[in-house]
Structure formats: C-alpha cells, structure tokens
Amino acid sequence: MAPWRRSGRGPVPELVAGAVHLVRRRARSAAFRALRLTGATVAAYVVAQLVGLHDPPPLIAALTALLVVQATLTSTLVNGVQRVLSVVAGVALAVGFVAVVGLTWWSLGALVAAAIVVGQLLRLGPHLVEVPISAMLVLGVGASGAESYGGDRVLETLLGAAVGMLVNVAFPPAVRTRHAIRSVERFAGEIAALLDDAAGTLLAGPVSPEQSARWLQDARRLNRHVPRLDRALAHAEESRRLNVRALRSPWAPSGVRAGLDALEYTSVSLRTLFRAVDDATRERTGIGEDAGYADTVRRTTASLLERMGTVVQEFGRALTAGPGDARRAAEERLASALTALASGRALVADLLIGDPRSRTGLWELNSALLTTVDRMLDELGPGPAGAAEALPAPRAALLAPHRLRLGRRPS
C-alpha cells in the first residue's frame, strides 16, 4: 500500500518529488562519506611517512584507516581495536615461528591454523583473517628481517587506526535519527492508507473478491517492513553514541521502538480482520438472503475502519513529533481520535452483537472487527513511548471497559 494514496496530490508529481528528494539526500550523504574515507586514508599515509616509514611505502597505515572508519563512532572504535589486535597477534605468532622453523609447507599450515584459532579466541569478527595474513607476511621475510618488518607493520596499523578514529571525531558521521523516525511514521501512514482504502471502498458499495484479496495481501506485506525499521532504529541509536552531532539533535529514537512494537501488533491484528473481510466477501459465512443485514455490517465496518485509520495516522504523527507544542498538539489529536474510535466501537457492538442475526451469518467478521478495535485501543491508547501515561479522564473512562475485558499486554 503506497503512502501517497492518502494524499490529495496526484501520484505522479508526488512520486517524482519524492525521487528527487531521495537522490539529493543520498548524493549528499555519499559525497560526505567519500570525503571522510579519502581524507582518513591520505592522512594516515602522510602521518606514517612523517614518522619515518618510507620503505616500503606505508600503505598498511592507509589501508587500516580506510577499514576502521565506519558509519558510527562506536563501530570505528571496535574495528580499530580489532584490527590492531589482529595484526599484533599475527606478528607475534610469526616471530615465534621464525625463531624456530623456516618457511615450509607444514610450517605455513601450522601458522595459519594457529592464527585462526587465536583470532577466534580474541573474537576479532571480520578482522579474523588479518591474523594469518599478518603472520604470513612476516614469515615470508625470513628470520633476519622478521622483527623489524613485524614492528613496522604493527606501527603502521596503530597509526592508521589512530588516524581513522581521529577523523571520525573531527568529522563525525551524520546522525541517522530523523531518517529512522520518519520511516516509522511512513509505516504508520501505510497502515492508515490501507484502512482508508478499505473504508472508502466498503462505504461506496459491495466489494469484489479481488478487492478483498488485495487488502489481505497488503495487510500481510505490512509486517515485512518491521525488521528493516527495527534495524534502522538500532543504527540510529548507535550513530548517536560518542557523536558530538547528537548534542544538536536531542530527538532520540529510544522511545520510538515501543511505538514500532505497537504498530507491529496492530498490523498483525489487521491480517486477521482482512482475512475475515475476504471470507465474508466470498460468501463463506452463510449470510443467506438477508442482504439488509449484510449492508448494515458493510457500512458499520467502513465507519470503524475509517476511524481506525485516523487513529493509526495520528499515532504515527504523535510518535515522531518533536518536543514542545508540536508533540502536545499531536497527542491531543491522537486522544480525540482514540475517543472517537472507542465511541464508535461501543455503538457498533450494540448494533451488531445485540442483533440476533449476527449469529446466523457474519459472526466471524463482527468478532474480528471488534477484537481488532479493542487491540488497537489497547496498543495505541496510552500514547507513544509513554508520552501520555496518564490518560485524560474522559478517554481513560471510555477505554477502561475494553481493557478490563481484554487484559493488559505484559510489558
């Protein structure tokens, strides 16, 4: 379900504008990252030459700086330490082997095996192969130059790692908070767009099996976005650690994760609801000839779906609103939408469940509809990220019966 379907603008101009904005944003990000990596590489090479490493050219220092500069400061520190440990371990093993044996096929095999074991014990991750590589390079120069070459390689690695860390401190990578949080808001928009589409179609008249099947497929696809969004939030949180840019961006994504969980639970409930809608559309529910009752169910379902879409949309906006007046206004709109949904739910329950015809036909759809609304009130009711733990009195009183019936979700 494309988010632009909710907007009043035409699809083509909005898609073009979105594509242009995406290209510009990614171009700036790519250019900045290229400058950081290039600067770190050249700086490490120059520093190594300044300390007297000329023969052979200190390419190890440049390579180390290129490899340790990562997208976040914490990953740069981890990669720098791991690379230094891998080179030191490889050089130490090679110097020990050279002192005892020369370069033969069996000594090479023994050295590589020992280097891999040591790398695993040190938990060097992606830099594990640096241990046998460093050991083999030192072993190749023979006993006469092993210590000197090994010492130069360790020094180059230390210089490259230090330069890479300093570059990330002096030119810190971008904080990815806003991008991750906006992605969660777009996810809420997709859920709302699906609900709005279904509500509008149901309100216009009976739907075809093809339409209900499309809604079901869209509802199933919604959950596939969650792992990607979860990784984006984790990356955004990591990008803030030790990053001076985070001081200018106090908008932390920590509370958004709870909101993403609530949206995920909501999307799971919608799959069950649209399964029931598809079954009812394909006349699997035994509604019989009572077309008047089926029409009543269709119109009430459309009304509740529309209110559910408004709740999800306002939840996404309140979840991602910045601090201050914008957040308070968003929370007020969310509270109003939740109150309207709970009120509509009560009316629909009296109309559908209280009607004796509900047990002769569309019971599964009625039950799924009310259960989904209850779940949405329970998940989205307290407000995003604990921003409104104390609910307004009228809203809390309105939601209380549904929460007592459902029980609270364990935290």
Q: How does DSSP classify residue 245? A: G
- Across the chain, what does the average pLDDT equal? 75
CB 42 within 8 A of CB 68: no
Structure confidence at residue 245 as a pLDDT band (50, 70, 90): low
Report all structural domains of the chain as residue ranges with CATH numbers, in order of start. Answer: 11-170 (no CATH), 177-406 (1.20.58)
Locus of tokens 């095999």? 109
- Single pTM value for the model: 0.62
By C-alpha distance, which of 214, 219, 198, 185 is closest to 305? 198
By C-alpha distance, which of 2, 4, 5 is closest to 200? 5
pLDDT digits (tens, 9 = 90+) for 392-411: 333 333 334 333 333 333 33
- The SS3 of residue 389 is coil
Structure confidence at residue 306 as a pLDDT band (50, 70, 90): very high
- The SS3 of residue 303 is helix
Between 72 and 343, the more confident residue is: 343
Q: What is the rounded CA–CA span in Å between residue 384 and residue 330?
A: 10
> pLDDT value at position 4?
30
> pLDDT value at position 145?
64
CB 297 within 8 A of CB 348: no
Q: What is the rounded CA–CA span in Å between residue 320 and residue 341?
A: 21
Whether the pLDDT of residue 45 is over 60: the answer is: yes
Residue type present at position 405? R
Report the pLDDT averaged over residues 165-171. 80
By C-alpha distance, which of 338, 340, 316 is closest to 3? 316
Q: What is the rounded CA–CA span in Å between residue 235 and residue 163?
A: 23
Report the pLDDT averaged over residues 285-307. 72
Phi-psi region of 80 (alpha: psi -120 to 50; beta: other; left: phi over 0): alpha
Between 25 and 102, the more confident residue is: 102
Q: How does DSSP classify residue 409? A: P
Q: What is the rounded CA–CA span in Å between residue 399 and residue 411?
A: 19
pLDDT digits (tens, 9 = 90+) for 88-125: 888 888 888 877 777 778 888 888 899 899 888 988 88
- 185, 251, 267, 280 from 224: Cα distances, Å: 16, 26, 10, 26
By C-alpha distance, which of 198, 121, 154 is closest to 48? 154
> pLDDT value at position 195?
92
By C-alpha distance, which of 165, 144, 152, 131 is closest to 57? 152
**Which range has highest mean pLDDT (1-10, 260-269, 293-302, 315-324)?**
260-269
Structure confidence at residue 255 as a pLDDT band (50, 70, 90): low
Give the number of residues written for the chain.
Answer: 411
The packing angle between helices 256-281 and 226-240, to 10°, is 170
Between 383 and 309, the more confident residue is: 309
> Which of 28-42, 117-131, 185-199, 247-261 shows the lowest mean pLDDT across its residues?
247-261
Token duo for residue 263: 């949206």
> pLDDT value at position 228?
82
